[in-house]
Chain A
Amino acid sequence: MARTVRTAPATNVRVNAPTIFLASALASALPLALVGCGHRDQPQTFAAAPPESAVGTTKIHEPEKLWSIETGKTDALGAPLRVACVTCHTLRVPNALPDKPEELKEFHRGLQFDHGNNKCGSCHVVGAQDSLRLADGRTIPMRDALVLCGQCHGSQLRDYKAGAHGGMSGHWDLASGGRLRNHCVDCHDPHVPKFTPSTPVLPPRDRHLGPPVPHEGGPAIPRLSQAGSKGGHS
């Protein structure tokens, strides 16, 4: 009986009533077995406990390196014309960084910026466009932006490190497999970090409240393609 209670609480309720009834009526354990509680009380079989050492690793998604920027012009075929970063950044002598993107005379002019009182030089480094500048003057590679963001957003970085901020995919149990975690910039545009409002997907179709929607055999959830795209809010 004790075994049943420990492993299968739900069956316990079912077993108790006949147990009490039979015990009081017959005062013997033998009829109980004959009546057939037998295989009904099979203890739940457990899978093996996860091994001690973790095999999976947590990776932070590395955002794609930006090689070129849009010029706002189109080529002869109508495709947007992009220009590689190195076209200018290797040849020209860099000017001092301006305070706001509006002060730029040539490239990066359409850049939207809404991120507190930061200036371009708060994060960027003159002459090293692949690097970022920490508050103490050290430079770090662009992909380590987490450290840079964490200088101000400490509570978010704390939560992120604890696994309670930022989306992820893969395994909760690292003994079973790895996990991929979003980078800050997968969801937040560093220049405009606030989420822009979006239209919710999959509106509920209540049997009584919603209008009847004919089923045409096609994909019933047209916005499905957006579900997989992380950071579509920038």
Chain B
Amino acid sequence: MSAAHDEKQPRRVHLKVLGATLGAGAFAYAMAPLRAWTKNISKEEFLQRHYKELTREELAKVIQRLEAETKRDYGRDVTIKDPKPREGVEFGYALNLSVCIGCRKCAEACHVENNHDRRTNNSYIRVLEMEQGSFDMERGNVQYDGPVPKPGKFYMPVQCHQCDNAPCTKVCPVQATWKEPDGIVVVDYNWCIGCRYCEAACPYHARRFNWQKPEIPAEQVNPDQGYLSNRIRPQGVVEKCTFCLHRTREGKLPACLEACPTGARVFGNLLDPNSEIRWVLEHKRVFILKEELGTRPRFFYYFDV
């Protein structure tokens, strides 16, 4: 009995050693991508706190680091600002479907202004070619080609609606995305973990994921950047339209509006009763997309009467 017991012991030891070796190997293999990833991330970036927790001095240091990294990776001197929301300003946007011709110049302006990846033609604006008589966004065609406008179709550009009841901000497990006091939903790209829950939650397909580090030739980089808006996003984070807050918080019009050749876009302060956007909301046939979801967008569509 005792002899048989002794014979079993070495086998058990071997199995334990084998198991431990395999386990350690599997763990090392599983962690390999993480080790490769941490090579690209500095200690400061790893330890950086949430945007809202940063003091003014810490944010200045972060911005300094980001500007240096952009210079190193893209060969361009850029200025990253952090314009704050203004007291008494809440942004609203309206788009006239009667005159939009589907030329996609807004999407192109967004592509250039917001430092999007040049390979993928990424843009925060998706222009849908729709059948007249239907608002079914899911049947819209984004792959259409010219000449536009085609008979029997209308064109509906869709971008972030900056919802007051935003589903995207609620699902974020790390609160890397939130609504600012002037109505703009923003992302702290350095806090985002890239889980893409927000992308799934958005009913307007307004969020994009950076599958790769954006590729932009130095001369095409827009050097006028904002921390919460168009600075070049790192790989593996979600991005979205911010109504060009680096421009609009300084009083300028968004890039997509300036590019529109038909004047279909109207932008302004919802709290100013004399603003253009208020005139549209009070005088035109205005509707919001997917109203039944209760998202309460700040982006409105309208028709000429």
Contacts and interface: CB of A to CB of B under 8 A. Distances in A.
A116 B275 CA distance: 34
Interface residues of A, number: 65
Interface string B274-305: 01100110011000000000000000000011
A195 B147 CA distance: 12
A46 B87 contact: yes
Interface in B122-144: 123, 126-127, 142-144
B62 interface: no
Nearest to A205: B121
Given A44-B181, A197-B101, A205-B119, 14 more contacts: A8-B52, A11-B175, A13-B175, A46-B84, A49-B87, A163-B279, A171-B253, A172-B253, A195-B149, A195-B262, A198-B148, A200-B103, A201-B108, A215-B119
Interface string A209-220: 110010101111
A40 B118 contact: no
Contact of A163 (B211, B220, B276, B305): B276
Nearest to A10: B178
Interface stretch (A86-94, A102-110, A174-182): A174-182
Interface string B166-182: 00010000010011110
Q: How large is the interface on B (under 10, 10 to 19, 20 to 34, 35 or more residues)?
A: 35 or more
Interface in B84-127: 84-89, 94, 96, 99, 101-105, 107-109, 111-112, 118-121, 123, 126-127
Nearest to A160: B263
Contacts of A210: 143
Interface in B258-275: 258-263, 266-269, 275
Contact of A202 (B52, B123, B169): B123
A168 B253 contact: yes
A219 B251 CA distance: 30
Nearest to A197: B147
B119 A220 contact: yes
Chain B contact residues, majority secondary structure:
loop
A227 B109 contact: yes
A160 B7 CA distance: 96
A167 B249 contact: no
B111 A202 contact: yes
Contact of A204 (B142, B257, B275): B142
A164 B284 CA distance: 10
Contact of A201 (B104, B169, B305): B104
A218 B267 CA distance: 34
A155 interface: yes
Nearest to A195: B101
A13 B165 CA distance: 13
B248 interface: yes
A170 B220 CA distance: 21
Contacts of B118: 215, 220-221
Interface of A: 7-11, 13-14, 39-40, 42, 44-50, 155, 159, 162-173, 175-177, 179, 182, 187, 195, 197-207, 209-210, 213, 215, 217-221, 223-224, 227, 230-233
Contacts, number: 190
A159 to B, nearest CB: 7
Given A159-B304, A213-B119, A215-B118, A46 B181 contact: yes
Contacts of A167: 258, 260-263
A202 B104 contact: yes
Contacts of B69: none
8 contacts: A42-B53, A50-B89, A163-B266, A167-B263, A173-B251, A195-B101, A202-B121, A220-B220
Nearest to B120: A205
B1 to A, nearest CB: 58
B25 interface: no
Contacts of A195: 101, 149, 262
Interface of B: 52-53, 55, 83-89, 94, 96, 99, 101-105, 107-109, 111-112, 118-121, 123, 126-127, 142-150, 169, 175, 178-181, 211, 215, 217, 220, 248-253, 257-263, 266-269, 275-276, 279-280, 283-284, 304-305
Contacts of B108: 201-202, 221, 223-224, 227
Nearest to B52: A11
Interface centre among A47, A48, A198, A202 (most CB of B within 10 A): A202
Nearest to B86: A47
B103 A172 contact: no
B55, B181, B257: most-surrounded residue (chain A CB, <10 A): B181
Contact of A166 (B263, B269, B279): B263
Contacts of B220: 219-220
Contacts of B211: 207
A36 to B, nearest CB: 10
A84 to B, nearest CB: 31
